[in-house]
Each structure stands twice: as structure tokens, then as C-alpha cells.
Chains A and B, each alone.
Chain A
Amino acid sequence: MRPIDEDTLRALAGSRPADSFIVWAWRDGSLVVPEPLQVLNWSASDDAGDSVTVGQKVSLTVADPDGSLGAWRFDDPLGVGGTWLQLIYKVGGGRALNFARLRVTSNEPTEMVEWREIPEYGLEEPDSLTAPHMRMVPVTTAVVKLEAVDLTFDVDRDKLEDPESPESDATVLSEFRRLVSDYFPVVVDAGVEDVDISRLTIFEGERLQACQDLADRVSARYRMGGDGECHVYPRAVTPVQRFGPNEALVSVSRKQTLNGLYNRWIVEGKDSTTDEPVRGVVSIETGPLRYGGPHGRHQFKYTSEMITNGTQARAYAFQLRDKFLSSLAIELTLETAPWPQGQAGDRIEVACPVAAGYLVNFPGDVTSISRSGATVPGGTTLTVQCSYADVVAALGRTDWAQHLTGNMPELTWDRMPGTWGSLPAIEWDEL
């Protein structure tokens, strides 16, 4: 989550003047456009996951009243040659928060051309539609669509020219820092435990994937913060935000599909000495997905030359099953009010109304965020992965019941049960 101050957080909870983006364009340490860009509309996506390398992508349409921002040359103000954007999210009535720094990857102007005929003494073009001494002048006004991605993109393009190995006293995080040191500073968030790294490790080819592997070794991921700094953040953390009824949640939806629900893992290999095939088979034996039960039979088959005996095959099949069971998740799609401080990778809590008649609190990881807006921001859509085990456990809890106390309200007539009968006769003797 991006850092946010108390007042701004309070402003976010209610009606307010519309939020807006302040966008500055930079190259080589100086502004390329002296004023903030006039943003007409924008959309931003943020993804986190094991296979995501560059997480944040933004698309902006900016006004270009004098036609100077559409690029021809690479070093034009918003050309792709090294221009980066500083995005500041201004919360209406509150303060601003630094949203992102992004490298411009494309510049696509849409120009409107209107023509004016003006005098140009001496101009006599042969076979021209314009009369002599007159010239047609195009006046262009434009909107420019910019695509931009976060700064890890620069690391991604920079391949490792030669294989590299860590220094003798290197750790996982010091290696991470070394690989990206030309691009941005690295902040290690609380909860990430550094470990030593073997000198025999070899990094080859992809620099950013090497970083991803390194972060993975300390059970962490990386993502860019709002000030151009890279955060290495732990995977399992406590929720930073709660969404629910009266807590910024507009709607929540989900979908269950049959795809990829295996219940038997078959690992095959070849015995190194006898060339006989070896085989390990592991199934789910209980529960709704059990092998041969109502779910049926759905096998996952893995074959490798590296598997050389039956024990290995069986052990790997167990590993595959456990990985599958721990990755079982329910994906919730949340529509929420603007949540500018949120980042993919954050852990949140969703209070979800269920048919049983109460709220259930699901913890989950935000795997993607998409936001968009024009003169006023639109909603925010979050994709949240809630682990299957957590969901099943949460469905079995009635959290509201913990607030039941022994205190009873006063007994009044309107609280009487319907079968109590009619009111006792009142004697009007005080008239």
C-alpha cells in the first residue's frame, strides 16, 4: 500500500470534489513540458503474481491544444526516447499521494486539422487549388494517447550480457540490489528475512527474472512504489484494508469453474540402470473432489527423464498434489470506491454478505487492480484471491455472534410476542 496521511484517508471515505491526476513529464532530470499535462482520461492497471514481471501499466489521453506533444522525433517532449511520467493522485479535499513513476512506451496523437487560407505574397505554386498569393495553412489541435509502464520495464529490457555469479559475502537481497542498482533504490519492507546465497548461483540472460527468482527465495515479491523506489515485500502479511458494506464496497462477485480441478497426479520416469519405466501415483482420497467420487476422474500427468526411481516419482506426485491443494482459491471481483493507495500484492479483508444472513470476512490477496477515470474518477475493480481453505473456514464462522451479550432491552408492549393476547383492560378512572 502506498503511504497515505490521516486527513486524506478521511477524505477518501466520503463525498468530495473529484480526485484528479497531476502528471509531470521528465527526461534526464529536467521537465520536458513546463506544465502538468492536461489529462482528459486515464486508465491504470496493476498486477501481482508469480509470473508478473512489470506490474503497473497506465494509459493516459492528454490534451495538446497547439499540437506540440504528439511525437515525431524520439527526443520530442513526449517521445519514447527516455521520457518518464510522474503521476500524483490528488484526492479532492485531501492531500495528494505519489502514485507512480512510469516510462512512456508509446505516443499516439490523434490530430484534428482545420484549414485556413491566408495571404502569402509571392507564392505561386503550379497546378495548385489555392489562388496565387494565398496559402492554405493547417491548424492542428490534438489529443495524445500515452501508454506507460513502471520502471521495472527498464530492468526487464536490460539483459545480462554475460553470466554473473554472486560475490562471496552476498545475500539474496544484496544481489537483488546489485542487479537493479542502475535503475532505482530498493526498499525492503518489514517481514522479509534475508538469507545467504550460494556463490555457485548463476544468473543468465534475463535480469528482471533473476530478480523475481531472488525475491521468491525469501518468500517475497517486488513492486514499484510511488516515488520510483522498488519495494521487496513479504507475501503473507496482515490485511491493510477492509472492504464491506458501508466500507467502500460497491459490489462483490465470484465464479466457480471446473477447469483444472485435478484429483490424481501421475509422475512417470525411467529407471537409470534398467531403463524400466517408473511411476508414482497420488490421488485426492476424501472430500468433494475425491478420485472416483462424484467429481469423477481427472488426472495430471508428468513425465521426466530426471525421475529415476519409484520413490522419487511418488515424492514428486505428493509435492504436486500439495501444491495444487494450497493453490486452490476463490477469486472475488470487487467493485469499490476509489482506493488510490492500494497496490496489487496487498492483503485485504472482504466482508461479504452471504445467503445465510450475515457477513463473512474473507482474507485475500489483491492480484490485480484496474482503475479508470476522466474528469471524475470512475470505480476501482479489484481481483482478490482468497485461499479455498480460508474461505471454507470463514464460511463456518459467525463473526457477529461474538458481540452477543447478556444485556437485554427493557420489556415494553411492542416487544411482546404476537401470541401474548390483547392488552389488559385499562380503567379510565383518572378522568
Chain B
Amino acid sequence: MVAVTAEELPPTPGPQAGVTITGLGVGESVVTVWRLSDDVREALPGYRREPMNDSSFVTDYYVPVNRPVSYEVEVISGPSGSDRVTSEPITVTSESGWLMDPLIPQSAIPVVGERRADGDIYLRSQAFASLEYQGDVSLFKIMGSNKPMALFGQRMAETGMDISVGLQSAEENTKLKRLLRSTTSLHFRPLPEWGALDLEGSMFLASAMVRQTPVNVTYGGKLTWWDLPTDTVQGPAIKVLTAAFTYGDVSILMDTYQQKQDLMAGKTYLDDLKSPLG
């Protein structure tokens, strides 16, 4: 009997959810993990037609915050045939929205709507000032008719979306700058309470250009503005590049392999996936 449970994981580096899949049966199953939230059904990046054996643990680094989320496990093929099981909804809570490199979750940076402390990275007034939805239309001016025939293309998700931020902390600025310099693709998690924008809870953005304006930094201040015009894009098809816990971490933390084995004594492979340090 295939079962799926979802849980909120400790929010380091950013909010995360864990999905435990059990009862697939012994042998190779091909599984797609879908996330359902805000009427959006989306596959987790890298988890389309993923081979699994009996049970697995999947970390969703992109979980939308402060809204109900559930996970659907679709077994496409496996020892007990195809199946479709949905987890109970969970809500991953967070005080802030989050910005990160979609391939490196360790780069997650909180973004707030309203500045309360010096370290806050806050959205500036121009952020979300307007959202644009483009679509292609092809017109054919048919001879003899004064109304062209039109073929309507699909309306695209938000383009020209401004998520410009400001901040008054040199330390936070370094983190943000490192993130923006390392990647042109961003993952953004807005809070549901940010106006009636109806943004999806988990957005992948392309930011071709960013502009840093050190407002008063050269004469001793800390205020920096970042202009971030972005376009909504599809998420990556691959998994994240850096797992939260790697084989390298194991070899740093333990002297011998026996230590690791002792640590996991009596535990299952699934336990190891969830909590490598026992």
C-alpha cells in the first residue's frame, strides 16, 4: 500500500518540506512527485519519472510558505502497478518571503515586505508596482475582409516583474551580492499576505540584469538598493546541485565507516535518508 506523508523540516537554510514515500514494493518503481498548492499542480524539479525502490525521502526546497501544501505521489509503474496517493496538507510557516538560487538551496535569503530591523532585506516601493502578462497573437489580413483573422497564443505568466529590494546592512548585502553574482536564475517565494497579488507561492525567475545602487555607502552609510526586474520561467528539470548532507560531510564527521554503521544500527535506509546522523 503506497503511503505518503509530508512534514515541515527545520528552516535551515530556508523553509523546506520533507516527503516520505513508503510501500512502493520491492523492485524498481517509476514515480513522479507533484506538489499541490494554490490550485497549482507542479512536479518537484528532478522528480519526474524518478526511479525508486520501496521507499524514499524527498526534500522539497521550493515549498511555498504560509499556505496549505500537499504532495501527490504518482506511481507510473512499479511492482504493484500504477497508483496515485496524496498526502495530508501541511503548512510551512515563515516570517518572510525567500529568494534563492534554484540549484543551491544553501543560498536562501529572507526578504520581508516591511523593514523592521537593519538586517532586513525589504521590498522597495517599486516592487510589484505592475505585473505584465504577455501573449502572442498572429494576424492574417485576409484579402477582401476588413477584419483580420487571428490565432491566439497562450498568455504567459508574469513578465517584467520587479522584485527590487533595499537593505541597510553590509553583511546582508554581501550575502545578497554573492547570490546575485553567482546566478541569473532565481527562486522566489512571496508571502501570501503581500497584497492581493495572487502570485504563485513558488516562482522561478529569470533575472537578466540586476542593478546595485550603493545609495550612501561611499560616505559611511549602509543603504543599498538593488533593482531586480525579472520574468517568470519554468523551474529546472534537474535536482539541486548541493544536497543538505553529503557523503563528504559523513567522512569529515566520522573517522571510520564503523562509526557511521554504529550510529545507524537498527535503523532503516529511509531513516538514514531522513536523518544521516541518527
Contacts and interface: CB of A to CB of B under 8 A. Distances in A.
Interface of A: 14-19, 34, 65-66, 92, 114, 116-122, 133, 137, 139, 244-252, 337-338, 353, 373-379
Interface of B: 49, 101, 103-104, 136-138, 140-145, 149-154, 182-185, 234, 236-238, 241-242, 246, 248-249, 251-252
Contacts of A116: 101, 103-104, 182-183, 241
A66 B237 contact: yes
A249 B242 CA distance: 57
A120 B182 contact: no
Nearest to A123: B248
A66 B142 CA distance: 41
B246 A119 contact: yes
Contacts of A65: 234, 236-237
B151 A250 contact: no
Contact of B151 (A19, A34, A120, A137): A19
Contacts of B154: 18, 375
Contact of B152 (A15, A119, A244, A337): A15
Contact of B242 (A16, A119, A122, A376): A119
Contact of A376 (B143, B145, B153, B236): B153
6 contacts: A15-B150, A17-B151, A116-B101, A245-B143, A247-B142, A375-B154
B143 A250 contact: yes
A111 to B, nearest CB: 14
Given A120-B248, A122-B251, 4 more contacts: A121-B248, A122-B248, A139-B103, A376-B152
B251 to A, nearest CB: 7
Given A15-B152, A66-B237, A377 B138 contact: yes
Nearest to A120: B248
Contact of B144 (A15, A119, A246): A246
Given A120-B248, A122-B248, A139-B241, A18 B236 contact: no
Contact of B153 (A121, A139, A247, A375): A375
B183 A18 contact: no
A120 B177 CA distance: 23
Given A34-B49, A376-B136, A377-B151, A118 B143 contact: no
B271 to A, nearest CB: 24
A111 B138 CA distance: 29
**Interface pairs A-B: 3 shortest CB-CB:** A245-B144, A121-B248, A66-B237
| Central interface residue in A65, A120, A248, by most chain B CB within 10 Å | A65
B254 to A, nearest CB: 13
Contacts of B236: 65-66
A66 B236 CA distance: 7
A137 B143 contact: no
A217 B34 CA distance: 60
Contact of A139 (B136, B140, B238, B246): B238
A133 B242 CA distance: 13
Given A15-B151, A18-B153, A92-B152, A337 B136 contact: no
Contacts of A251: 143
A98 to B, nearest CB: 20
A123 to B, nearest CB: 9
A376 B248 contact: no
A338 B138 CA distance: 11
Contact of A249 (B49, B136, B142, B183): B142
Contacts of A120: 248
B149 A14 contact: yes
Contact of A250 (B137, B141, B249): B141
Nearest to A378: B138
B184 to A, nearest CB: 7
Contacts of B103: 116, 139
A337 B149 contact: yes
Nearest to B145: A246
Nearest to A12: B149
A94 to B, nearest CB: 12
